Amino acid sequence: MALSAAALTSAVSLLETARVGASDFFKISRARALLCVSLLVVVIGLAPALSHTPLEWRVFDRPVLDWMDTLFGDWLLPLGVLITVGVIGWVGGGALLKSEERP
């Protein structure tokens, strides 16, 4: 029960962050932004949630969850790491690495 409460509070905080961004960007009310963000999350989450059920959505004979796993796990995660390392190396340069060296 406590784990469910923790998951719910984390989900609310993540939705609130997206809601603020949507309301600022589109200049819409808080309630409308929350509704739009919540619907978007439900629509995006529906496909992988139903991937291994009788209602599964298949793309090129593979469940959507498998496609999302390949996209995020095999492509976007390593790409994000490379971009992060490149930016840290470019902005921080050698000074950042030298400050982390042990004596």
What whole-number distance in Å separates Cα of residue 60 and Cα of residue 82?
A: 29
pLDDT of the residue at 81 = 96
pLDDT at 28 over 90: yes
pLDDT of the residue at 56 = 82
DSSP state of 67: H
C-alpha torsion 25→27→33→36, nearest 10: -70
pLDDT tens for residues 35-78?
999 999 999 888 888 888 888 888 898 888 899 999 999 999 99
The residues, any chain, with a CB within 8 Å of residue 61's CB and separated by 6 or more, are none
Query: Where are the chain's structural domains?
Result: 1-49, 64-103
